[in-house]
Amino acid sequence: MLKIRKAVLPVAGLGTRVLPATKTIPKEMLPVFDRPAIQYVVDEAREAGIEHIVFVTGRNKSAIEDYFDRAYELEDTLRLKGKTDILETLESEVPEAGSMSFVRQQAPLGLGHAVWCARELIGREPFAVLLPDVIVRAKPGCLAQMVDVYNREGGNVIAVEQVPEDQVSSYGIIDPETHDGRVMKMRGMVEKPSRESAPSNMSITGRYILQPEIFDLLSSQAKGAGGEIQLTDAMDGLMKSQSFHAVEYEGGSFDCGNKAGYLRAFVRFALDHAEEGQNARDVVEQVLKDR
């Protein structure tokens, strides 16, 4: 069983749900308190042992590539001013040379197409997919928990979490066959089912470990919902020949692709900050008091 070494981060989306903030700034670069949202996702991947990250980008996304490069002028200025703490933080977040790749998705043809665009860089080995809209607050990280399950079960692994039954129609929902604690063997998945027809209340979180055969299916995948090539359709096809397990990970997620979810993430990570958490709490309480 091959180790999970590579991860795909699809970052080509336009961020229409958080316009106008994303008119000139990639949604992945919007700050969640003291760092851009994409940094939290990359940190999660690194914690899980990912050695190489493939970003599937689009037009006007060069800020992401620049962010993960060195900023020599800024570093020299910080060094001359003796601001060693922040300098060390910046240097620690610079990836190892050659550990990140960037490939273009030239047209918005869906998540499945975005993953397919990374096929040559992934090769014929299992890999992870992390949707950058979703920041997961968990210890250990969500992907690390999934890798533990993959190392035991092999096959394909999906992260899930419970949602209220009256909200299942807003999510992709899995159909579990068996349960073993927080791990479920899957027999199917349904995209945004009605409350009455939903097979469970376990929603797909936006974290996947997939076998490379998914690329074979995506290469000939017909357009699905929304006229796009859907990753869930390809996974449903792969499920006919390979095992899929779902992990109800310990933690919680924030959908930063919409304004309310982004605000929740910003406030939560501000309150949890080791140095600024109390200041953030004071500010939030004062704002609520002044309303």
pTM of the model as a whole: 0.92
Tokens at 185, concatenated: 């063997």
**Phi and psi of 225, rounded to 5°?**
-55, 135
- pLDDT at position 277: 94
**pLDDT single digits (tens) 115-126:** 999 999 999 999
Angle 107-111-114 (CA atoms, 0-180°, nearest 5)? 55
DSSP E strands, 37-78 = 52-57
Q: Per-residue confidence at 227, pLDDT binned at 50, 70, 90?
A: low
Average pLDDT over every residue of 264-285: 94
- pLDDT at position 22: 87
For residues 136 and 123, give the distance between their C-alpha atoms in angstroms, rounded to a whole number: 27
- pLDDT at position 269: 95
Whether 45 contacts 109, CB under 8 Å: no
List, in sequence order, every residue forming a beta bridge with 248; answer none if it has no partner. Answer: 160
The amino acid that residue 270 corresponds to is A
Lowest mean pLDDT of 28-32, 131-135, 212-216, 220-224, name the range.
Answer: 220-224
For residues 193 and 170, give the distance between their C-alpha atoms in angstroms, rounded to a whole number: 8
Whether 234 contacts 221, CB under 8 Å: yes
Question: Which residues 6+ apart lie within 8 Å of 167 measured at CB?
Answer: none
**pLDDT single digits (tens) 162-187:** 999 888 888 888 999 888 889 999 99
Structural domains of the chain ordered from first start: 6-258 (3.90.550.10)
List, as one string, the DSSP characters of 186-236: EEEEEES--TTT-S-SEEEEEEEEE-THHHHHHHTPPP-GGGS--HHHHHH
Average pLDDT over every residue of 185-208: 89
Report helix, strand or coil for 142.
Answer: helix
For residues 243 and 234, give the distance between their C-alpha atoms in angstroms, rounded to a whole number: 14
